[in-house]
Amino acid sequence: MNQAHTKSMSTVTQTVVTTVGEIGQHEGRTVTICGWLYNLRTSGKLLFPIFRDGSGMIQGVVLKNAVPAAVFDAVKGLTQESSVIVEGKVRADKRAPGGYELDVSNVQVLQRVPETDPYPITPKEHGTDFLMDHRHLWVRSPRQAAILRMRAEIIRAARDFFDQRGFTLTDPPILTPAACEGTTTLFPVNYFDEQAYLTQSGQLYIEATAMALGKVYSFGPTFRAEKSKTRRHLTEFWMIEPEVAYATLEDIMELAESFITAIVKRCLEHRCSDLEMIGRDLAKLARIEPPFPRLSYDQAVTMLQQAHAKGALEHRFEWGGDLGSPDETYLSSQFDKPVMVHRYPAAVKAFYMEPDPARPELALCLDVLAPEGYGEIIGGSQRTASYDLLIQRIHEHRLPEEAFRWYLDLRKYGSVPHAGFGMGIERAVAWICGLEHVRETIPFPRMLYRLYP
Ligand code: 4AD
Ligand code: MG
């Protein structure tokens, strides 16, 4: 800390240290807040500093005649993001954003940001690249802080959902010997001169723990080296994945439906003020409740072809392909709830998916597309239970059989139907917060051209 900029409190009074978030419990009393200066307005003998402390913001009032001259001068020259410990009396004020103001009696400046090198992010508009280069500071702005609180709430809600339903959390490895979702999007790692990869999904491993524990889930970072530069793609993202022994596609569709509903409900119960500060239309979230519409891939293709005929979609979608971003955007903007698209052609999906016995060219899989054009937030399926079919698929996908020995064992020793899905936390946060891009949903995004800070 720069001692030259440090000023001590002139009087040492013992007051309760609290946070802006809990200030309402201290009305009429003098408290201490530890935070930063967000903004300062001056009006002659009155100063109106706004302090933030991570839990919220509060406006202080400094009256020249009511405080020692040193305190008034310290606040008067205070620069944005200087760190301060503030003492003041909590006063209810209906006009104040949080309902309270602080009549400041004392201020200790821990570090004063010099005028010669001011805090780079000002309330004026900045370009995305500039903000991304300053992500380590950008996270302090109220909107970004609110998004990070939303992320934490969504993660907590997701974990509570599974914890309360008898699922056991099992953590899969991040360093793996083989691909889970496809060989084209792997990040290679030199593992003591052996070829390893960063995991694309914990799924294969939690299939093993599901056979041990019945209902399991994992939550951790996953990596995709795809060179997609879209508003939905990160190279590092966090996925929550449940896996259930003896479950079918229908079972996990119902699970996905109640899972999403529970998360949205929790956000509305606990984080309305954050959602409002982010500018989210709460009415749209309030509509999220079961049942969600179910759309077979065949029906989805018909809808997309009709959209093309009407001129609402540029290209004509042909049966057999995987849905691309524009297709998902179109489909998901046709519903005001998440839509569950099921039974895609097996040829465009991962090797481990169980074929539909009624039409083996289709996989028993689902994608959940969030409404308002957000697209896929969940991907899942029933898993191939047959040893013979699974080994055939491994060969068809040109995957190294040796690396999958252990996975094949699961079909040799008490194989059962089982199913699960994965939800990317960042896509869920983007949809629930109504954000344009996933880059704001994670503290430090990793993308095609972004590895700094
Ligand atoms: O559809 P995906 O690839 O499915 C799996 O990985 C399965 N193994 C999951 C399972 O069945 N256990 O990915 C699942 C979800 C997607 O729906 C999306 O939300 C997210 O992970 N996701 C990404 N999020 C951000 N950036 C990317 N590049 C993502 N790729 C997938
Ligand atoms: Mg998918």
Question: What is residue 61's predicted lDDT score, i.e. its pLDDT?
Answer: 98
* Domain residue limits at 314: 135-441
Pocket of ligand 1 (CB under 6 A): 180-181, 201, 203, 224, 233-234, 237, 239, 241, 376-381, 420-424, 426-427, 438
Query: What tokens does 63 get?
Result: 């009256």
Name the burial class of residue 69, with classes exposed (0-12), middle (13-18) and buried (19+) by CB atoms within 10 angstroms of its CB: exposed
Same-domain status, 46 and 153? no
| Separation between Cα atoms, residue 423 and residue 443, nearest integer Å | 18
The count of structural domains within the chain is: 2
pLDDT value at 2 more than 50: no
Atom of ligand 1 nearest to the CA of 226: 28
pLDDT value at 5 more than 70: no
Angle at 39 between CA 36 and CA 42, to 5 degrees: 125
Same-domain status, 71 and 153? no
**Domain-terminating residue out of 77, 111, 145:** 111
Residue 126 lies in a domain: no
Provide the CA 344 distance to its chain's centre, in angstroms.
Answer: 27
pLDDT value at 218 more than 90: yes
163: domain CATH number? 3.30.930.10
pTM: 0.95
The answer to whether 115 and 109 have CB atoms below 8 angstroms apart is: no
| Separation between Cα atoms, residue 371 and residue 374, nearest integer Å | 6
pLDDT in tens, 184-213: 899 999 999 999 999 999 999 999 999 999
Atom of ligand 1 nearest to the CA of 237: 25
Among protein residues, the one whose CA lies closest to atom 20 of ligand 1 = 424
pLDDT in tens, 383-414: 999 999 999 999 999 999 999 999 999 999 99
pLDDT value at 183 more than 90: no
Same-domain status, 304 and 422? yes
Mutation to probe ligand 1, out of 167, 176, 237 (largest number of atoms < 8 A from CB): 237
Amino acid at 342: H
